[in-house]
Amino acid sequence: MHDSNTEQKIINRREWLKKTGLYSAGLLTSRAVLGRTRKKNPVILLVSGWQNVNIGDIAHTPGLLHVFEVFLPEARVILWKRTGGEEVKELLNRNFPKVRIIYGGVTPEKDTNQEVMAAINEADIMVHGSGPLLVGADNLACWMKHTDKPFGVFGTTLQNPGEYHQSILKKASFIYTRETNSIQHLKKAGIEGPHIGFAPDATFYMHINNPAKAENFLNQAGLEARKFICVIPRLRYTPYHTIYPNNNDWSQDWINHVEKTNEQTMEWDHAKMREAMIAWVRETGNKVLVCPEMTYQMDIMDELLIDPLPADVKPFVIKRGYWLPDEAASVYAKAHTVLSFECHSPIIAAYNGTPFFYLRQPEDSIKGQMYYDLGFDNWIFEIEETDGQQITDTLRQIWKDYPGAQAHLKDRMKNIGNIYSERVNMMKKLLSHL
């Protein structure tokens, strides 16, 4: 039996389906008309894939897809990808052949894409993937407009959510934030409850790799397994006004602030990383690979990390152009340690059993809190409170007790798997009531 409110929702939904052309044989099942029952193979509509100029943003998607593969294997996933790009699409198709990928932008004023509407009808639950904020807010709003089925957020930073994002989050069935600081930000906005919890960035479960391509590169570069470190540079502010010059809404005042801050801090920051690079080369006789997490970093590698090095160190340093996360993962898997100003290369390294350092700049949002939440306190360095000697000393400790560092990492990664399992179990309970 349905109460009157439930019956009215079904009627309203049926009328909407008629208007959009989806009320046809096979698209509107008896489940929608007569009430939902537990499905053997629930369908998840995942919105993810924010941009392709950053291997971290690319990695969110395969990471969460793998979480669902491992902990909810009976589910079928439709990926509502926010950005195009054939290379990334091929990467996802190759590694997740059962996942259907759809595209289609929506706004509060326009949401009539038929492929999207069909996916909304088919799915039992919608999930917003890992990211820096509620990037897919419009996608969630579209879901809310056309269905009463549950939705939630998995591994996303929610720092100071505005009114629009709050209006969506207040109706979410679950909210798993990327770090615990976001939970406090939600409380300030009046959003709290047992449905809110911590789930680290889904990149921690990105399992895809490309060993053949990585091996070819390593052989050409003369890099031997566990005998090189990777270092990744970063400016305090990502210069999106140069990355997307035709699609940028920054004011000139903000652009001036970004450029001034980057100019004032880039040498000071990277000198600390260079100190560790120099010690590594001189004390171990091994090599350094300078590599990017974002496309723009290819333009700053020489200036900040290679050209200022002493003459005896430079021959041991190799640089790498932009790559996709599968190849990066396979290279990081062979590295001794990954030192990064960017947040996600350390995470990719962690899944592949490689110790890492995250050199955290204060402008890089609150997402870095997740490293403390996960017990990586000794491997995160607040760059304004750290000198090069501290980074070097910790790196030296790792190369002198490498098994100990690997054991610590393995223990922490097991804990991350347990967290994912618990969060997906909460989703299962939701699905069991549909």
Taken in order 265, 269, 275, 281, the sign of the CA dihedral is negative
Q: Is 212 exposed, middle or buried (0-12, 13-18, 19+ CB in 10 A)?
A: exposed
Set out the domains of the chain in order of their start, with CATH numbers.
23-205+417-432 (3.40.50.11720), 211-400 (3.40.50.2000)
Helix H or strand E segment including 35: none
pLDDT at site 40: 82
- Which residue carries 């260079």 as its tokens? 274
Under 8 Å between Cβ of 129 and 202: yes
pLDDT tens for the 434 residues of the chain, in order:
334 443 343 334 334 333 333 333 233 332 333 344 457 899 999 999 998 999 999 999 999 999 999 999 999 999 999 998 899 999 999 999 999 999 988 887 777 788 999 999 999 999 999 999 999 999 999 999 999 999 999 999 999 999 999 999 999 999 999 999 999 999 999 999 999 999 999 999 999 999 999 999 999 999 999 999 999 999 999 999 999 998 888 999 999 999 999 999 999 999 999 999 999 999 999 999 999 999 999 999 999 999 999 999 999 999 999 999 999 999 999 999 999 999 999 999 999 999 999 999 999 999 999 999 999 999 999 999 999 999 999 999 999 999 999 999 999 999 999 999 999 999 999 998 76
Please tell me the distance from the alpha carbon of residue 16 to that of residue 147, in angstroms, as a whole number: 10
3-state secondary structure of 319: strand
Q: Give the orientation angle of helix 55-71 with respect to helix 325-334, to 10 degrees.
A: 80
C-alpha distances out from residue 211 to 91, 224, 312, 316, 385, Å? 14, 14, 31, 23, 37
Distance of alpha carbon 405 from alpha carbon 395, whole angstroms: 10
Name the residue with tokens 């709290």.
192
Distance CA 207, CA 361 (A): 27
Task: Report whether 310 contacts 278 (CB < 8 A).
Answer: yes
Look-up: residue for tokens 């439930």?
A: 6
pTM over 0.85: yes
**Burial class of residue 202 (count of CB atoms within 10 Å of its CB; 0-12, 13-18, 19+):** buried
> 349: closest CA among 315, 325, 382, 320?
325
Cα–Cα dist 235/296, whole Å: 10
Beta bridge partners of 131: 156
Closest residue by Cα to residue 146 from 176, 108, 173 = 108
The per-residue pLDDT for 5 is 42
What is the distance between the alpha carbons of residues 117 and 269, in angstroms, rounded to a whole number?
48
Question: What pLDDT is attached to residue 225?
Answer: 98
The residue written with tokens 């449905």 in the block is 195
Q: Which of 402, 400, 396 is closest to 279 using CA atoms?
A: 396
Question: Which amino acid is it at 9?
Answer: K
CB atoms within 10 A of CB 41: 9
CA atoms within 13 A on the CB side of 174: 22
Residue 300 is encoded by which pair of tokens? 């700053």
Tokens representing 184 are 């406090």
pLDDT at 38 (0 to 100): 56
Helix (H) or strand (E) holding 153: strand 151-156
Q: Please report the pLDDT score of residue 18 as a whole number.
A: 33
Closest CA to 289 of 237, 223, 376: 223
Number of H helices and number of E strands within the chain? Answer: 17, 13
The CA distance from 269 to 72, in Å, is: 42
pLDDT of residue 151: 98
- What burial letters (b/e) apply to 165-183, b meaning 16+ CB within 10 Å? bbebbeebebbbbbbebbb
**Cα separation values, 12 from 15, 28, 33, 142, Å:** 5, 13, 11, 16
**Quick one: pLDDT at residue 94?**
97
